[in-house]
Structure 1
Amino acid sequence: MKFLFTTAGFALMALMSYGQSKFVRLETSKGDITLMLYDQTPKHRDAFVKTIRQGLYDQAAFNRVIKGFVSQGGELDETILDREKLHPEKPLARIPAEIVPGLFHKKGALGAGRNDNPEHSSYLTQIYLVAGKPQTDEELNAMEKKKGHQFSAAERTAYKKIGGIPRLDLDYTIFGEIVAGMEVADAINSVPTNQHDLPLIPITFSPKLLSKKEAAVIRKVLDSHVN
């Protein structure tokens, strides 16, 4: 398993690994990606784990892949919203927003998709992996002014060195990140797509919750690079 030890974002990721209890392996048609779920976003962590156990993501597809932006998988907005229209009497199934300072859209971040709702609540069955691109100080300064939000020194370092999508910060919940298999995520984000951002050759994935023993091994490796 190839862990992420060489990027500027690794120090942040390694520090985040303390106490994190859930790790997931995305078995994709391009290879495996290992995700660390954040305990700081328990509603999203638990909802994702529940959908995995229910098999709702088994052989799901990356259905919206935009190079240098995101690789989105699971259900499309249209599919979710059309299904909900069939049962207007039922409350919408959403995860309350968990927008936590310090969890941001750096490359490799795991986010929850949503529609344009004022509560910023997330879909149950749509995720995305952040690709993004490196940012300059000028771009980050402009984004701070536009959003009225100041990036921390650590966030600036990550955005400049490994990249990401700072304009999505504070609007979508980030609830995990890639700790191994970034090269697979990069390969997925680089595939040819049609005019609707759908990969020309289907890319599927099935998430598997790692056992406590497997998670302990990963935490040990990550934590060893903090000290």
Structure 2
Amino acid sequence: MEDEMPDVQIPSSGMETKDLSHIKTLKQEELMPFLENYAAENPENKIQIETEFGNIIVQLYDETLYHRANFIRLAKLGYFETCLFHRVDPDFVVQAGNSDRVLTRDYRKAIGRYLIPSEYTDTYPHDYGAFAAAKYKKQNVSNASSPFEFYIVTKKDGAHHLDGEHTVFGKVIEGMDVAEKISAVDTDASEWPISNIDLKVKVLQ
């Protein structure tokens, strides 16, 4: 049986609150022009994910404009600092961008309920080290992406059954050993790590 990406889960409980009134709440109909403008004003395409196991450096693809711009925006807003690596499937993927914390939920509400149109291209398949967007599976025939969750492919020969279904918008250029360490942690039956794996995302350039 092939591995499948799970439905994106909505966080529910457990962290301090924060004033998020400065965040513009996006609606689907304004998403693309907003991200186009944001991409032009924020051209960074390299990020560092900091974890207790070390750092992972990712090169984001300029061609996947909407995914890159959205990810850079969330990083600059501090969203990922509320999140965890919340899913570990050994020899497949490690996934982050969610948690069961109240602050994660509050950030999502402030940022907005929208989907990012698929930008998948055969140029960027699900090879080992691919950096890709999770998605809501139900009623999502267009394979649009969740704006919040991402995963890294840790399967040595890739996860090519996901090609076309998820947008690959970057690649790990340093730190796959860190992703492998995360891939080896103990999890519960839902693939949630037994011990929290916090992360911070720093925009490099």
TM-score (norm 2): 0.70
Bigger-Rg structure (1/2): 1
2:61 maps to which residue? 38
Tell whether the 8 Å contact from 1:21 to 1:39 is kept in structure 2 after alignment: no
- 2:171 counterpart residue number: 177
The aligned residue for residue 124 of structure 1 is: 147
| Whole-angstrom CA distance in 1 between matches of 2:128 and 2:182 | 14
From 79, 99, 119, the equivalent of 1:56 is: 79
Match of 1:74 among 81, 88, 97: 97
1:97 aligns with 2:91: no
Q: Deviations over 1:50-106 (max 9, x none)?
A: 000111111420111000111010127xx9xx99xx9xxxx8411111011211111
Distance 2:184 2:176 in 1: 12
CA contact under 8 A between 1:40 and 1:100: conserved in structure 2?
no
How many residue pairs match? The answer is 154
5 Å matches for 1:158-197?
162-197=156-191
- AA of the residue aligned to 1:55: G
The match for 1:112 is 133
* Aligned amino acid, residue 104 of structure 1: P
Could you tell me whether the CA contact under 8 Å between 2:133 and 2:146 is conserved in 1?
Answer: yes
Aligned residues: CA RMSD: 2.3
Q: Conserved in 2, the CA contact under 8 Å of 1:69 and 1:165?
A: yes
For 1:55 and 1:124, the matched residues in 2 are separated by 14
Partner of 2:80, secondary structure, is coil
1:202 aligns with 2:185: no
> Which secondary structure does the structure 1 equivalent of 2:194 belong to?
coil
SS at 1:185 equivalent = helix
SS of residue in 2 equivalent to 1:187: helix
Q: Which residue of 1 aligns with 2:39?
A: none
**Could you tell me whether the CA contact under 8 Å between 2:68 and 2:169 is conserved in 1?**
yes
After the TM superposition, which segments of 4 or more aligned residues of structure 1 sit over 2 Å from their partners? none
1:220 is matched with none
TM-score (norm 1): 0.63
Q: Give the alignment partner of residue 45 of structure 2, picking from 10, 22, 26.
A: 22
Gaps of at least 5 residues in structure 2 are 1-42
- Summarize deviations over 1:104-135 as a string: whole Å, max 9, x none: 11111101000111111111110101112xxx
CA distance in 2, matches of 1:193, 1:26: 21
For 1:66 and 1:38, the matched residues in 2 are separated by 25
Equivalents in 1 of 2:121, 2:61: separation in Å?
Answer: 10
| Alignment partners' CA distance in 2, 1:169 and 1:33 | 23
Look up the match of 2:24: none
Structure with greater helix percent: 1
Contact 2:75 2:203 in 1 (8 A): yes
Measure the CA separation in 1 of the matches of 2:82 and 2:67: 21
